[in-house]
Structure 1
Amino acid sequence: MFSAALAATMSVDATALQPLGTFHGNSAVARDGEAWLALRLDGDDAALVATKVQVRKITEGDEEETEVAATVPDAMMLVRGKGLAEGAVPVAPIADSNAAEHALPLGERRFDVRTVCVDDGERGGQLRVKCEVRLQEGAKQQVLLRMDGYREAANPAPVIADEKAPKLLFAGDLDRDGALDLIMDTASRSNVSKPTLYLSSKAGEGELVGEAATNETTGC
């Protein structure tokens, strides 16, 4: 039986994303020789560039790893799907990927991504918090992600997730419809990467974006 991730590679219309690098096991969605789009960043400029994927299996003893590379240099991520095409991509510059708040201007529009936490009682000697990552444009906002965290007595700033906080990797207009799209690492474990693609063209009623694809891998 095929997994959902593998099935997504069967159609070029299915939206998918693939991190680059070396990962434990056989977690790659991409297959060797497939055509994808490489997202390249150069300062405040970005582009989607056609590329062939190079996937190589590495076996050392009982350990199996998968190496994923692109023929395009300096690619940060591979994406594909209906509505994604080669060419320049408008960018909303990210000052600090790890920040809890991001002001993201895109043309004449302004978006904000912020993490909001509220106290949730004390457990195990820690003051626990519940947090939300919210995307906002004007009076309209949407919760992208919910997670737990905690506060330390010596530092009132919340620690989001027990091991790893969400990280904003890219903000811009990938589907070129004039609205903001995001790629965010939503993993909560330190050795796991889970880039998640949010596209405005996938937004449902009352939403700014919709979750279009995600890919969870364990690093080496």
Structure 2
Amino acid sequence: MKAVFKTLFFIIIIFQFISCNNSKKEIALKTEVYKDSDKETEIVENDPVKEEFSFPNDSALPVKIIRLETFHSDEIQENYNKKVWFGLFKNKDNYSLAETTVSFKRVNDPILDETDEEKTGWEVSAQAKDSCLILIEKLPYFIDGNISSVKIPESIYPEESFKFSYKNVEYTLFATGKKKKEQQDSDWIVVSNYKLYLKTVVNGKETTELLVAKKNFDDQMIKIIFAGDLDDDNKLDLIIDTASHYNVSSPTLYLSKPAEKGKAIKPVGVFVTVGC
């Protein structure tokens, strides 16, 4: 039985990688339908991905991020207890970033362990667990303090866009792809060939960058977890759950400070986990 569970667990992981003090809040502007077909064609031609529809590359992202929960053995690395962690905390609509003491403890994994005495799982814990959205390993530009944020929709579907202003910069999140109702009388939308972009306009200069690309979804949709300034440079940073499978979670960190010259943002870290 243990071998069967482990086989199913690794199949799901492989599937995911292949298919795949008050804070100042800014005001979003509007949501609209994105139908500029000429612009869409130009963007697709300049994508870092084309037919494979898999972005970002999870294995190439260097920054470690985790959550406060219990995980399977290979989802937490042994050296994590030696790292310094910063927690992103939410209190109502306010956010803060603070260095946080994190504990890693071996515990029973009810999915993979054959007996109650086995302890192959990891329990990740810290104080103020209820308000901690994510833990990020310490980066040189992280400082303790309140984080300004902006309210944006949790999901952007194909042919939708959301325009907003943050720190005197104009941004637009928009998506391309295909969508259809699962059945004629159903409210459930099936999405495929999905791409999520961020358009940035600074002093009249426009840049457009791909954030996420997924070929298909299994009872899941891309979700934006956080939008605000994490790396203290007065520019937009994002945390997006890029998972395409209902039993997988993939919070992905996008920061502006490490972005290449002429770019506005860059994916730097991801934490892929399987529910069961």
TM category, shorter: 0.7 to 0.9
TM-score (norm 2): 0.61
**2 CA distance for matches of 1:25 and 1:191?**
17
How far apart are the structure 1 equivalents of 2:245 and 2:72?
15
Equivalent residue in structure 2 for 1:132, among 186, 195, 199: 195
> Is 1:114–2:114 an aligned residue pair?
no
Displacement of 1:185 = 0.8
Please identify which structure carries the higher strand content: 1
Partner of 1:78: 135
SS of 2:154's equivalent in the other structure is coil
Contact 2:63 2:270 in 1 (8 A): no
Letter paired with 1:51: T
Aligned length: 190
Q: 2:92 aligns with which of 13, 31, 43?
A: 43
Q: Indicate the SS of the match to 1:201.
A: coil
State the Cα distance separating 1:102 from its structure 2 match.
Answer: 4.0
Distance 1:76 1:128 in 2: 27
Aligned equivalent of 1:143, options 207, 210, 214: 210
CA drift at 1:98: 3.2
- Structure ID, larger Rg: 2
CA distance in 1: counterparts of 2:192 and 2:83, whole angstroms: 43
Normalising by the residue count of structure 1, what TM-score does the alignment of the two structures yield?
0.75
Which one has the bigger helix percentage?
Answer: 2
> CA offset at residue 82 of structure 1?
2.2
Partner of 2:145: 87
Check 1:65–1:88 CA distance in 2 against 1; reply closer, same or farther (3 A cut). same
- The 10-residue stretch of structure 1 (73-82 or 28-37) with the greater mean CA deviation from structure 2: 28-37
Moved more, 180-189 or 59-68: 59-68
Distance apart, 1:183 and its partner CA:
0.7
Partner of residue 256, structure 2: 200
How far apart are the structure 2 equivalents of 1:28 and 1:105?
37
Q: Given the superposition, is the C-alpha separation of residues 79 and 33 from structure 1 closer, same or farther in structure 2, using an over 3 Å criterion?
A: same
Specify every segment of 5 or more residues in structure 1 that has no aligned partner in the other structure, as ranges: 9-13, 120-126, 150-160
| Native 8 Å contact 1:90 1:106 kept in 2 | no
Give the C-alpha shift of residue 103 in structure 1: 3.9
Give, in angstroms, the shift of residue 182 of structure 1: 0.5
SS at the partner of 2:136?
strand
Instruction: State the alpha-carbon separation in 1 of the partners of residues 144 and 246 from structure 2.
Output: 33
Runs of 4+, deviation exceeding 6 Å: none
Q: Mark the CA change 1:98 to 1:69 in structure 2 (over 3 Å): closer, same or farther.
A: farther
Question: Structure 2 vs 1, CA of residues 56 and 131 (structure 1 numbering), >3 Å: closer, same or farther?
Answer: same
Contact 1:135 1:141 in 2 (8 A): yes
| Distance in 2 of aligned mates of 1:15 and 1:128 | 29
Larger RCO (CA under 8 A, 6+ residues apart): 2
What is the one-letter code of the residue matched to 2:176? V
